Each structure stands twice: as C-alpha cells, then as structure tokens.
C-alpha cells in the first residue's frame, strides 16, 4: 500500500490531508512575514518585498511537494530509523540549495536583487531555506512516525484480541466434551441398575446441554445463569449418588449479576464430585459460596475429600479455569486449590467486581 493511500485516525486520506496542511502552512508563512514586516516598519513596505515573500513561499511549496514525492518513491519511511535520519539531513541540504537557487534565478530574471538594497545574500537565503526545509522534514517524518506507531499499536491490540478469542474458543471446545463424557459415564452406571432413573438422567442431561450451549456463545456469563447450569448438573448427579451427595449454597444476592467465565463454576463442582465425593464411601458435602471482599468477588467450592499429592491435581478443569481467568481478567483474577481441613478441599476463584455489582 502506498503512503498516499493510507488514512489517518480520523479517516482522512493522507494525500488530501497533506495538501490541506501544505497550502495552509506556506500561505501562513507568507502572511506571517507580511504581518511582521508591517508591525516592524509601521508602514506598508514596497510591493517588491511582498512579491519576494510570495515567490519564496511558492517555491517552498513546489520544492517540498517534490521532496514528498521522492520520499514516497524511494520508500524512505519504511527504511531503518538510522537511514531515515541520514535521508532527512541529506534532503535538508539538497532541497534548501534547490530552493535558494530557484529563488536567485527568479530574482535575477526579474531584477529584484538590484532594486532592493536590503535583499538577502545567496548564503543568507540558503541558511533561511535550510531551516525551513529542516522544519518541514521534521514535521513530515514525525507525523508519519506517530501514524505508524498508532497503526502498529492498533494492529497489536487486534492481534492480541484475536489470539485471546482463539484461546478461549479452544478451551471451550475442550470443556464441553470433557463435561459430556463425565455425565455419560454417570448415566451409564444407572442403565442396568435403574432404567427409570437413567431415563430421567438423560432428560436432565438434555436440559443441561441446552443451557451450556447458550452460555458457551459468550465470553462471560452471569453468576445467576451459571448457577442454573450448576443446579441442573447437580440434579443429574443426585440421581446417581442419591443421599451420598449433599449440597449447600451461600450466595450473596447482589453478586448474582457478577460476570464469570462460562462453565467455570460448573467445572469446579464437577471436579469436586469426581475427585472428592465419588471417592468417599459415605459420600460427602459440596458447599458453594459467593461473597465480596473489598473490590473483589470470591466464588468458592468446598468439598469433602483430599488433594491427591501422588497424582496430577492440576487436571484439565483446574488448568482451563486458570487460563480463562488470565485471558479475561489478567492479573486482577486468580485461582487457588487448597486443603482446608483434614478432609475438606477448597477451590476459590477471585475476580474483580463487575460494574453492575459495584453499584
């Protein structure tokens, strides 16, 4: 893509913007010199002075237009920074010489150099032009440097957002099969033992999958919606475990609108049953808590059991929870899995309070 086809942050074509600034800049230079001359002399200077300034501005406009075309043609803006600095210095010297030579030719041809005793010498004119071209170069290069930095920052942000979306979708794609297989294993255990309960479990699973599919379409879901899925899942598992599974919930009402990763709480409850309750002969208890502390929301699942140090306790469920918290909330969120008591494990998610829960 050529530089002149790029657009700035306001959506204006760079070529059009350049011409607006170019005309305004050199016209402003002409008017400023006229005002300064009038304010210093307190009189209207001879016409040749204003013609001189006008011609100087017109030549500056022409020379800097040629300079821009050279920058674009040789793709100087895409070269290393050190090369750009050298080109800036070279162009300042070369194009200021071109500008002063053109002015000298015009002044000699029109006879202005003989009519004005205070007309600047060629060397003085070249120094003036050099400062003007240097200022023009600095403005031009600085503008494009800022524009390039902004485009790179925007591109990086878009790339990071895309990567996060892909990572979240990958994690979600693993969560549903992982959850479905566990539920089907539970139902399989009931098929021969109690066909009626197995049919009821299949109905519960159908309702659960419908709810989870709706939740998976979003990056976050509310704690209220997540609890519906958890309750459906617990109803399904209660058919399997009967009175071996006991559940308590302590949820602060004002946290029901808290945003959390979809299926995150369900994953923690599923792990509590799989690694805790199912391994207890007499079953056990699951306690679900949600409470606030300072500017954070804590969602906790406690279950009867122990963390098995001889096995990889950081299974997929734990890892997916940690990954999604990091992707969605960064360092503001965290996860912990600890042995609370001799026979109680606690899994805790810490999240920043959602805006609608802070009111």
The secondary structure of 141-203, three-state, reads HHHHHHHHHHHHHHHHHHHHHHHHHHHHHHHHHHHHHHHHHHHHHHHHHHHCCCHHHHHHHHH
C-beta separation of 8 from 147 below 8 A: yes
pLDDT of residue 101: 79
Residue 123, pLDDT above cutoff 60: yes
Instruction: Report the share of the chain in percent with pLDDT over 90.
Output: 16
275 band by pLDDT with thresholds 50, 70 and 90? confident
pLDDT of residue 322: 84
pLDDT of residue 348: 95
C-beta separation of 225 from 215 below 8 A: yes
CA distance 235 to 263: 16
pLDDT of residue 212: 64
Which is more confident, 290 or 176? Answer: 290
4 band by pLDDT with thresholds 50, 70 and 90? very low
Which is more confident, 194 or 293? Answer: 293
Mean pLDDT along residues 105-122? 58
CA distance 153 to 133: 30
Residue 222, pLDDT above cutoff 50: yes
All domains of the chain in start order, with CATH: 3-157 (no CATH), 192-358 (3.30.565.10)
1 band by pLDDT with thresholds 50, 70 and 90? very low
DSSP annotation of 244: G
- The two tokens of residue 277 are 């309750």
184 band by pLDDT with thresholds 50, 70 and 90? confident
Residue 317, pLDDT above cutoff 90: no
Contacts 24+ apart (CB under 8 A), 323-329: 323/167, 323/171, 324/168, 324/171, 324/261, 324/264, 325/261, 325/264, 325/349, 325/351, 327/164, 327/167, 327/168, 328/168, 328/219, 328/220, 328/261
- The count of other CB atoms within 10 Å of the CB of residue 275 is 20
Q: Which range has the worst mean pLDDT, 148-152, 210-214, 225-229, 334-338?
A: 210-214
Q: Average model confidence (pLDDT) for the chain?
A: 77
Residue 293, pLDDT above cutoff 50: yes
* DSSP per residue, 299-334: EEEEEES---TTS--S-HHHHHHHHHHHHHHGGG-E
pTM over 0.75: no
CA distance 297 to 254: 11
pLDDT of residue 300: 96
pLDDT of residue 10: 46
């Amino acid at each position: 893509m050529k530089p002149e086809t790029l657009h700035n942050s306001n959506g204006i074509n760079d070529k059009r913007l350049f011409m607006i600034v170019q005309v305004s800049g050199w016209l402003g230079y002409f008017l400023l010199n006229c005002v300064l001359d009038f304010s210093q002399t307190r009189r209207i200077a001879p016409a040749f002075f204003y013609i001189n300034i006008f011609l100087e501005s017109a030549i500056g406009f022409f020379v800097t237009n040629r300079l821009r075309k050279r920058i674009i043609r040789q793709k100087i803006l895409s070269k290393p920074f050190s090369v750009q600095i050298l080109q800036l210095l070279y162009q300042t010297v070369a194009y200021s010489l071109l500008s002063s030579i053109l002015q000298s030719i015009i002044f000699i041809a029109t006879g202005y150099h003989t009519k004005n005793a205070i007309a600047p010498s060629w060397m003085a004119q070249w120094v003036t032009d050099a400062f003007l071209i240097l200022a023009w170069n600095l403005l031009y290069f600085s503008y494009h440097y800022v524009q390039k930095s902004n485009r790179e920052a925007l591109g990086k942000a878009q790339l990071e957002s895309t990567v996060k979306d892909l990572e979240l979708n990958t994690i979600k794609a693993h969560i549903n099969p992982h959850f479905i297989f566990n539920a089907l294993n539970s139902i399989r255990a009931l098929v021969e033992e109690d066909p009626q309960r197995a049919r009821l479990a299949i109905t519960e699973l159908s309702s659960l999958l419908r709810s989870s599919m709706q939740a998976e379409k979003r990056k976050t879901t509310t704690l209220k919606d997540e609890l519906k899925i958890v309750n459906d899942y617990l109803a399904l598992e209660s058919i399997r475990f009967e009175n071996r599974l006991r559940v308590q919930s302590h949820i602060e009402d004002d946290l029901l609108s808290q945003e959390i990763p979809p299926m995150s709480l369900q994953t923690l409850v599923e792990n509590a049953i799989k690694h805790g309750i199912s391994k207890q002969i007499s079953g056990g208890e699951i306690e679900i808590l949600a409470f606030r502390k300072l500017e954070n929301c804590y969602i906790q699942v406690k279950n009867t059991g122990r963390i098995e140090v001889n096995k990889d306790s950081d299974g997929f469920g734990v890892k997916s929870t940690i990954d999604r918290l990091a992707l969605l909330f960064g360092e503001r969120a965290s996860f912990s899995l600890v042995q609370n008591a001799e026979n109680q494990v606690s899994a805790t998610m810490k999240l920043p309070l959602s805006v609608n829960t802070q009111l």
